[in-house]
Amino acid sequence: MGMAAAAATESQQFHVLAVDDSLIDRKLIERLLRTSSYQVTTVDSGTKALEFLGLRENDDGTPNTPSISPNNHQEVEVNMVITDYCMPGMTGYDLLKKIKESSSLRNIPVVIMSSENVPSRISRCLEEGAEEFFLKPVRLSDLNRLKPHIMKRSKLKDQDQKQVIPEKIDTLLEVQKQHQPQEEAQPQVQPNLEQQQQQQSLQQNNNNNNSSNKRKSMEQSLSPETTDRTRPRYSGIATVV
* pLDDT (tens digit per residue) in 191-230: 566 777 777 777 777 776 766 666 666 666 655 555 555 5
Q: Do 196 and 97 belong to one domain?
A: no
> Is 40 part of any domain?
yes
Q: Note the pLDDT of residue 166.
A: 61
> Is 231 part of any domain?
no
Whole-model pTM over 0.75: no
Q: Do 168 and 127 belong to one domain?
A: no
Q: Do 117 and 28 belong to one domain?
A: yes
Torsion of CA 35, 41, 46, 47, to 10 degrees: 170
> Is 239 part of any domain?
no
DSSP string, 154-198: HHHHHHHHHHHHHHHHHHHHHHHHHHHHHHHHHHHHHHHHHHHHH
Over residues 54-83, mean pLDDT: 62
> Is 219 part of any domain?
no
What residue type is 227 in one-letter code? T
Q: Do 131 and 13 belong to one domain?
A: yes
> Is 112 part of any domain?
yes
> Is 25 part of any domain?
yes
Which has more pLDDT, 104 or 186?
104
Q: Do 63 and 22 belong to one domain?
A: yes
Instruction: Identify the domain containing residue 8 by its residue range.
Output: 2-145
Average pLDDT, the chain: 77
Q: Do 81 and 191 belong to one domain?
A: no
Q: Is the peptide bond before 232 cis (omega within 30 degrees of 0)?
A: no
- Checking if the pLDDT of 1 tops 70, the result is no
Q: Do 118 and 196 belong to one domain?
A: no
Give the CATH number of the domain where residue 68 resides: 3.40.50.2300
The lowest-confidence range among 50-54, 152-156, 165-169 is 165-169
Over residues 62-87, mean pLDDT: 67
Q: Cα 17 to the chain's mean position, in Å?
A: 27
The count of domains in the chain is: 2
Which residues are registered as beta bridge partners of 112? Answer: 83, 133
Q: Note the pLDDT of residue 110.
A: 97
- Checking if the pLDDT of 39 tops 60, the result is yes
Q: Note the pLDDT of residue 60.
A: 47
30: three-class secondary structure by DSSP: helix
How far is residue 206's CA from residue 209's CA, in Å, rounded to a whole number? 5
Q: Do 129 and 11 belong to one domain?
A: yes
Identify the band that residue 159 occupies on the pLDDT scale cut at 50, 70 and 90: low
Q: What percent of the chain has pLDDT over 70?
A: 59
> Is 189 part of any domain?
yes
* pLDDT (tens digit per residue) in 100-143: 999 999 999 999 999 999 999 999 999 999 999 999 999 999 99
Of 90, 156, 95, whose CA–CA distance to 125 is shortest?
Answer: 95
- Checking if the pLDDT of 2 tops 60, the result is no
Q: Do 138 and 173 belong to one domain?
A: no
> Is 90 part of any domain?
yes
Q: Do 177 and 102 belong to one domain?
A: no
Q: Do 60 and 14 belong to one domain?
A: yes
Q: Do 167 and 139 belong to one domain?
A: no
